[in-house]
Structure 1
Amino acid sequence: MTRTLYLHGFASSPQSRKAQYFAANIPDLIIPDLNQEDFGSLTISRQLKQIKPLLTEPSYIIGSSLGGLTAAILAEQCPEQVKKIVLLAPAFQFTTNWRRRLGETTITQWQQETYLPVFHYSYQREIPLHYSFFQDAETYANYAFKNKTSTLILHGIHDETVPIQVSENYSHNRPWTKLISLDSDHSLGNCLETLLQETKQFLFGV
């Protein structure tokens, strides 16, 4: 028996459109709430700590954006438990992209003021996010992925949040990784049927 988990993205939740679409079409899909009712103290390390106890049997992980990065790290750290991963617009080079989007002035201000207001799409309001989120993410900035876990990546060619180049770079010289480029943006919202079909074929052979 193989367990299948879905890790939602940053400032999202198990109630997101994508998560619910997968839940409706993959039986017994586990979708943990990575917000843990405390989005303000979110870190990647906290997500890893939350998910590892769920890997009590061979598992597949589907991860969206930051959840995709978390899934890749879990595959590296728990190779005996994580058998396959599906990464939807995975947030590789995460802090590099945040520095590009926010600018160094905002990053410095965030560090000085401790909190940065971030719009949470599921809660539909701004929530102050602690600087420890960015500080913790920096520790994974140059993470050396050496595992050979069978991997499928689906990424939009119009993604302005996480450029598809990061997935192209990750896939390069990793023959166990398949990258599918889609005519979409970061949300991949116009490709849900394709995401599901490719995921089910990759994970379950159906």
Structure 2
Amino acid sequence: MRLQLPTYAYAHGFLSGPTSSKGLFIHRALQARFSLDLSLLDLNGPAGIGGLRPERALSAIDECYAAGSGTPLRLIGSSFGGWAVARYAELYPDRVDRMLLLCPSFRLGSRWEHIVGGSEELAAWHAGGFRAFTVPASGEQVAVSWDFVEQTRHLVDMPTLAHRVTVIHGAEDEVVPPSFSQQFCAQCSQAKLVLVQDDHALTAVETLEQLAIEAVELFDLES
């Protein structure tokens, strides 16, 4: 009987995409050291970066599972992608083997006022129907529909899992409080939390080195 090897995939965050610098870094590192093919998922769909939606993100993960002919998933999720990965595992526990979450964006629906800079900004978004955001990687402006806010307010904001999961969170993260990851790990039976001296982006050299170490340990990789 042929052993079914797991499918590895990376889920990006809000205002990002499959060619994000962090996703590419992890992809290249796993390819160079372990000859692993990490699929870089597109959670945005045809609408591009401004088109991210919860159901679309979950569908992208499901399509990856189907493309792997039912082999178990080993998932890495960053920010909103971290929430999507965790929620998919909660919905379909038998399809996911283990996960590495990077500053997962739990409780997004209740944090929009903080994200946009106040109640007036949030009200203006609601009134106008769209809000312009700057994409960090490129500097381009994209319009995000108020519909995204409404959808995030109805999410299961912090999934509970029995899977092996490692969470790396920046102690200086001002976007998603590290306490959310602490609460998540406290309610999950096989969760490990690693706090690093970094912000939400997790792009410091020391952080990327730690990320590689944690991935090797979590996924039982051997050089």
- TM interval, short-chain normalised: over 0.9
Residue 77 (str. 1) matches residue 91 (str. 2): yes
Aligned ranges 1:132-171 → 2 under 5 Å: 132-140=147-155, 142-143=156-157, 145-171=159-185
Structure 1 letter corresponding to 2:45: Q
CA shift at 1:96, angstroms? 2.1
State the SS of the aligned residue for 1:198: helix
CA shift at 1:162, angstroms? 0.9
**CA RMSD between the two structures:** 1.6
State the SS of the aligned residue for 1:21: helix
In structure 1, what is the equivalent of residue 145 of structure 2?
A: 130
Conserved? CA contact 2:161–2:188, under 8 Å = no
In structure 1, what is the equivalent of residue 202 of structure 2?
A: 188
40-49 vs 66-75, which moves further: 40-49
Residue 22 (str. 1) matches residue 26 (str. 2): yes
State the SS of the aligned residue for 2:177: coil
CA shift at 1:37, angstroms? 4.1
Q: 1:143 to 1:92 in 2, by over 3 A?
A: closer
CA shift at 1:117, angstroms? 0.3
Residue 115 (str. 1) matches residue 124 (str. 2): no
Unaligned runs of 5+ residues in structure 1 are none
Question: Identity percentage over the alignment?
Answer: 26
Q: 1:144 to 1:97 in 2, by over 3 A?
A: closer
Structure 1 letter corresponding to 2:186: H
Task: Describe the superposition over 1:86-133 as per-residue Cα deviations: whole angstroms up to 9, x where unpaired.
Answer: 100100111222222322222222122110001112342111101111
Which of residues 5, 16, 24 is equivalent to 2:9?
A: 5
In structure 2, what is the equivalent of residue 179 of structure 1?
A: 193
Structure 2 letter corresponding to 1:195: L
Aligned ranges 1:58-97 → 2 under 5 Å: 58-97=72-111
Q: 1:130 to 1:173 in 2, by over 3 A?
A: closer
Conserved? CA contact 2:107–2:158, under 8 Å = no
Residue 204 (str. 1) matches residue 220 (str. 2): yes
State the aligned residue count.
Answer: 205
Residue 31 (str. 1) matches residue 40 (str. 2): yes
Return the index of the structure with the highest Cα Rg. Answer: 2
Q: 1:37 to 1:144 in 2, by over 3 A?
A: closer
CA shift at 1:186, angstroms? 0.7
Task: Describe the superposition over 1:29-68 as per-residue Cα deviations: whole angstroms up to 9, x where unpaired.
Answer: 0001223341333211111122212113211110001100
Structure 1 letter corresponding to 2:56: R
CA distance in 1, matches of 2:37, 2:88: 20
CA shift at 1:170, angstroms? 1.0
CA distance in 1, matches of 2:124, 2:91: 33
In structure 2, what is the equivalent of residue 43 of structure 1?
A: 53
CA distance in 1, matches of 2:13, 2:159: 20
CA distance in 2, matches of 1:173, 1:111: 34
Conserved? CA contact 1:15–1:122, under 8 Å = no
Q: 1:174 to 1:50 in 2, by over 3 A?
A: closer
21-30 vs 36-45, which moves further: 36-45
CA shift at 1:14, angstroms? 2.2
Which of residues 60, 63, 71 is equivalent to 1:53?
A: 63
CA distance in 1, matches of 2:183, 2:160: 14
